[in-house]
Amino acid sequence: MIRLRNLERSYPLGKEKFFYVLRDINVDIQQGEFVSVMGPSGAGKSTLLHILGMHDHGWKGEFFLDEAAVHHLKPKERATLRNEQIGFVFQQYHLLDDLTVYENLDIPLSYRRYSKNERAALVGDTLDRFGNLHSSQGEEIMELFRKLNDEGMTIIQVTHSEKNASYGKRVIQLRDGWIVNQ
């Protein structure tokens, strides 16, 4: 389970001034949820995803992942937790021709008691079917997300697409750094 409490992210904006990208974020995401983060450009969606993915640590507030208080972890402990618990598929799907997406899909599966062969089948089959990647790729990825979610994996995606969001069961709406709906 993910729990964010009074989380905020800001960047310095000159002398003693800050630009707030995320403000007072309070979110609970249960194990096995499929959540879409939506909102206009600049709302803070990518920032939120990178915080949840433990790529960014320059935030304030509380972030619990199950029993772990991420806000209290040392960088090395956070890296271990991230490697064990989190897979990250980068925005757009244009990284498919290197190994990043495969690895990103493979790592979380490896912690869900899939054998190496089962993982290879699940991830490899899906990726093999892409061939040349264009408009159908998004749908293939969404189908894989659905499959992983059916297996119990928590999925959090950022999307502008209502169709992609419809794969999930919940939408978190951001606007100007605030959650306006969840």
Ligand X SMILES: Nc1ncnc2c1ncn2[C@@H]1O[C@H](COP(=O)(O)OP(=O)(O)O)[C@@H](O)[C@H]1O
Regarding 149 and contact with Mg ion (CB under 5 A), the answer is no
- Name the binder of 108 from ligand X, Mg ion, none, CB < 5-8 A by kind: none
Q: Which residues lie below 8 Å from residue 152, measured CB to CB, with a gap of 6+?
A: 31, 32, 112
Q: How far is the CB of 90 from ligand X (least distance, A)?
A: 13
Contact stretch for Mg ion (CB under 5 A) within 43-51, 78-86, 114-122, 163-171: 43-51
Q: Whole-number minimum distance, CB 127 to ligand X, in Å?
A: 25
Q: Does 149 bind ligand X (CB under 6 A)?
A: no
Contacting ligand X (CB under 6 A), which of 4, 21, 127, 142? 21
Candidates 41-49, 120-128, 134-142, 169-177; binding stretch for Mg ion (CB under 5 A): 41-49
Question: Which residue do the tokens 């979610």 mark?
Answer: 149
- Whether the Cβ atoms of residue 27 and residue 179 lie closer than 8 Å to each other: yes
The 3-class secondary structure across 19-37, one letter per residue, is EEEEEEEEEEECCCCEEEE
Residue 182, interface with Mg ion (CB under 5 A)? no
Distance CA 75, CA 91 (A): 24
Residues 24-43, one symbol each (x = binds ligand X by CB under 6 A, - = not), give ---------------x-xxx
Cβ atoms of residues 142 and 6 within 8 Å: no
Residues near 98 by Cβ (< 8 Å), separated by ≥ 6? none
Residues that bind Mg ion (CB under 5 A): 45-46
Task: By CB under 6 A, name the binding residues for ligand X.
Answer: 11, 19, 21, 39, 41-47
